[in-house]
Structure 1
Amino acid sequence: MKKVAEIFLILALVCAGCTVVCGAVSAEEMRTFVDDVGREVVLPAEIDAVSPSGPLAQIVLYSLDPDLFVSVSSSFDSVETKYIDPRLLTLPVTGQFYGSKASTMNPESIMELNKQLHIDVVLDIGEAKETMKPDLDDIQSKTNVAFAFVTQNKLSDIPGSYLKLGELLDRKEQGGRLSAYATALLAEFDAGMKTIGGAKKSLIYVTSIDGNSVSMVGNGSYHAEVLDYVGNNIAAPVTSSSGTGDGYTMEDILQLNPDYIIVSYTGDHAYYNKIMSDPMWRSLTAVQNGNVYEAPYGPYNWMGAPPSVHRLLSLMWLGNLMYPEVFDYSINDRVKEFYSLFFHYDLTDAELSDLMIYAKPNASSTPVPTKAPAPLFGVLAGLAAAAVFAGRRC
């Protein structure tokens, strides 16, 4: 009997030891991440299942690692699907937590999807707001799914956001690579714009035309950051928060008479064609000088909509277009680099020509149907610059 008791005691000690060891291993497999609104988020050491909370998070997460997706915030349109990993087209749609479609993401749907998806973290990206911390704490407590926020609002946020995302999602190498690219590009443009100084060219960005009514993105808008930076955006100060901007009349446009007109993409190039063929538009200096250009589109509109990392494309494009003597590089090479790095897509020369059909000087004024554009890589320079940037954050 004594022997039996001793055996039971030994077994109990072994089980207790296993419990302690297993508990220690389990604890070691978790880590704490402090997000950009100061929330301590407990996460697995290795991340392999991420749900984006909206379109900005979806775009940025894709650039970091498409394999991380277990759901998407919204389905892809016919232009976007050309550039997107086909696997993502089959994933469930989780919806959007913030913005005009915020009601599409709710605790009940997250909990239900998590039963099948086993989500490591729901990623939110954008501008930090006062209500964000309690909002995220609330939905995290209701769903028992981790939510983490990273700031990426202005162009200057991009380098640091990728370093933070690399840490959050355990993708430090790619995060550092994307951060280095953005750091080098922004430094290049800071230097170039100082050279240009007060000699900025005037421009407007036309987002829609309906008879005598014209919509443009106003000066000072979140959506006009690139326009305001590289040119003299002579549209009036913004009054609407919409990405399509504010309403004007044709008479307003004639009075502005800009050096350059950038026009939003449509599948049939309708707005571009209208400007190039309408007698009233043709009286403008920009049209007479051939300085009307359609913003490329694919997988997203380079000018924004939504405004995310692809605005770096519009920065390179407009800089080289308006000031080729300062930003003296092959725009073809730059676009291919960017698409490869951020969209994981290698553009052919034919695809690039389709993509930029009315985005280069000497474009024909008679539009022809074009296939959807494609994405590619960006100039990788200045890894040291990214290290300096990261040092400044510490």
Structure 2
Amino acid sequence: MKATKIFLILALVCVGCTVLCGAVSAEEMRTFVDDVGREVVLPVEIDAVSPSGPLAQTVLYSLDPDLFVSVSATPSAMEQKYLDPRLMTLPETGQFYGSKASTMNPESIMELNKQLHIDVVLDIGEAKGTMKEDLNDISGKTGVSFAFITQNKLSDIPGSYLKLGELLDRKEQGGRLSAYASSLLAEFDAGMKTVGENKKSLIYVSSIDGNAVSLVGNGSYHANVIDYVGNNVGGHAVSSSGTGDGYTMEDILQMNPDFIIVSFTTDHAYYNKILNDPLWQSLSAVRNGNVYEAPCGPYSWMGPSSPLKLLMLMWLGNLMYPEVFSYDIHDRVKEFYPLFFHYDLTDAELDELMVYAVPNSSPAPAATQASVPIAGICAGAAVALTGVGCRRFQS
């Protein structure tokens, strides 16, 4: 009889422990609904994230560099100057979508996960038609959770950072970046109303090869900021690539834009070609000194990820409408880098970044002028190579 009682007591204790352990286990996990409606089961505390591509890598870095357990691609020599050295030691997990979609191999993810214990693979950008099925498929094959956050248009950025903060258990930084983006977009909505119908025309030259010129046309994912801040006369985009579509010099001469924005190369080849070629010199933008090369560090400012879109917006707005967006761009950039890239720019570094990106550009760096920093922005809280070493990320 005693033995029976002891057995029953032990059985009850075991049942109780099982129930308790199950409750604790359930409390340690949570369900997150991503932006294609998938229910993703995640740990309450996130500390191991893999980016699904270069856009996700840039955005994840802005949220918390310590979360990385792998990189989509090892940063280039130029990028390494601005980024946490730890990223250079991490394994590559490749890119799920875009021009290098095949580089994310399910078998490799499974093998890496044995060592990395990945909490979630983060995908960011524009939702593809088959994305829900695609993510369910690779998650099922690998046993690793994948989550997607939309960050396609400028207007998506504030909400996406709030959702990223929730997904990755980094609500404070997500709120801070969201507040910054909200304030900046409100400032530009008001400013562009003042500009009204008087938008300046522009083209974004991504490459030049003799008589062949590639432009990022209007209506493309990569032209979101260009279309918003100016009259992009590059024609309607056909290609979804960040390198844009092909035109001839005859086409460019007919466009005759007010401003020409040129893709970065380490030798400034495209910029110098436009300034020195007699054909280009017949354009009003060249005659008026309105040719500028996009800065690059750690990535080209003309890239499609949210940090780059915000930089691009501030830079082009001040460049094209200084009477409306009358802040000192140098101050804005020095404020931006610690917040989104966790890097403090020196004055010399800033001058080097923007040597061909400000009025009266010249090979010698221009002096930095001080001004009052943007007020109240934080209240309440690119994959193709463009030249050598600087990527303009693609989705």
The TM-score with structure 2 as length reference comes to 0.91
- How far has the Cα of 1:382 moved from its partner? 6.1
**Does structure 2 conserve the Cα–Cα contact (< 8 Å) formed by 1:337 and 1:379?**
no
How many pairs does the alignment contain?
374
- How far has the Cα of 1:129 moved from its partner? 2.4
Question: What secondary structure does 1:16 align onto?
Answer: helix
Mapped partners of 1:47, 1:340: distance in 2 = 23
Question: What secondary structure does 1:310 align onto?
Answer: helix
Give 2:384's aligned residue: none
Give 1:360's aligned residue: 358
- How far has the Cα of 1:132 moved from its partner? 1.0
Structure 1 residue 177 and structure 2 residue 176: aligned? yes
| Cα distance per residue 1:48-91 (max 9 Å; x no partner) | 01111111111111100011111111111111111111111111
Mapped partners of 2:375, 2:40: distance in 1 = 34
Q: Which runs of 4+ in 1 moved over 4 A?
A: 377-380
Unpaired runs of at least 5, structure 1? 370-376, 387-394
Mapped partners of 2:232, 2:250: distance in 1 = 17
Q: Identify the match of residue 381 of structure 1 among 362, 377, 381.
A: 377
Mapped partners of 1:103, 1:36: distance in 2 = 23
**Does structure 1 conserve the Cα–Cα contact (< 8 Å) formed by 2:285 and 2:291?**
yes
Instruction: Report the RMSD for the aligned CA atoms in angstroms.
Output: 1.8
- How far has the Cα of 1:368 moved from its partner? 7.0
Structure 1 residue 350 and structure 2 residue 309: aligned? no
The TM-score with structure 1 as length reference comes to 0.91
- Residues 1-394 of structure 1 aligned to structure 2 (within 5 Å): 2-304=1-303, 306-364=304-362, 367=363, 381=377, 383=379
Identity %: 79
Mapped partners of 1:309, 1:343: distance in 2 = 9
Mapped partners of 2:298, 2:376: distance in 1 = 21
**Does structure 2 conserve the Cα–Cα contact (< 8 Å) formed by 1:335 and 1:378?**
no
Residue identity in the other structure for 1:321: L
Residue identity in the other structure for 1:227: I
- How far has the Cα of 1:240 moved from its partner? 1.7
Q: Are the structure 2 counterparts of residues 65 and 379 from structure 1 closer, same or farther at C-alpha, using a change threshold of 3 Å?
A: farther
Question: What secondary structure does 1:208 align onto?
Answer: strand
Q: Are the structure 2 counterparts of residues 95 and 35 from structure 1 closer, same or farther at C-alpha, using a change threshold of 3 Å?
A: same
**Does structure 1 conserve the Cα–Cα contact (< 8 Å) formed by 2:126 and 2:150?**
yes
Mapped partners of 1:378, 1:96: distance in 2 = 36
Mapped partners of 1:134, 1:271: distance in 2 = 42
- How far has the Cα of 1:14 moved from its partner? 2.3
- How far has the Cα of 1:309 moved from its partner? 2.7
- How far has the Cα of 1:307 moved from its partner? 4.2
Question: What secondary structure does 1:79 align onto?
Answer: helix
Q: Are the structure 2 counterparts of residues 293 and 76 from structure 1 closer, same or farther at C-alpha, using a change threshold of 3 Å?
A: same
Unpaired runs of at least 5, structure 2? 366-372, 382-395
Residue identity in the other structure for 1:381: I
Mapped partners of 1:110, 1:348: distance in 2 = 39
**Does structure 2 conserve the Cα–Cα contact (< 8 Å) formed by 1:181 and 1:379?**
no
Once structures 1 and 2 are overlaid, which stretch shifts more, 279-288 or 199-208? 279-288
Q: Are the structure 2 counterparts of residues 23 and 349 from structure 1 closer, same or farther at C-alpha, using a change threshold of 3 Å?
A: same
Mapped partners of 2:38, 2:236: distance in 1 = 36
Give 1:390's aligned residue: none
Question: What secondary structure does 1:252 align onto?
Answer: helix
| Cα distance per residue 1:117-161 (max 9 Å; x no partner) | 001111111112221111111221222211111111111111110
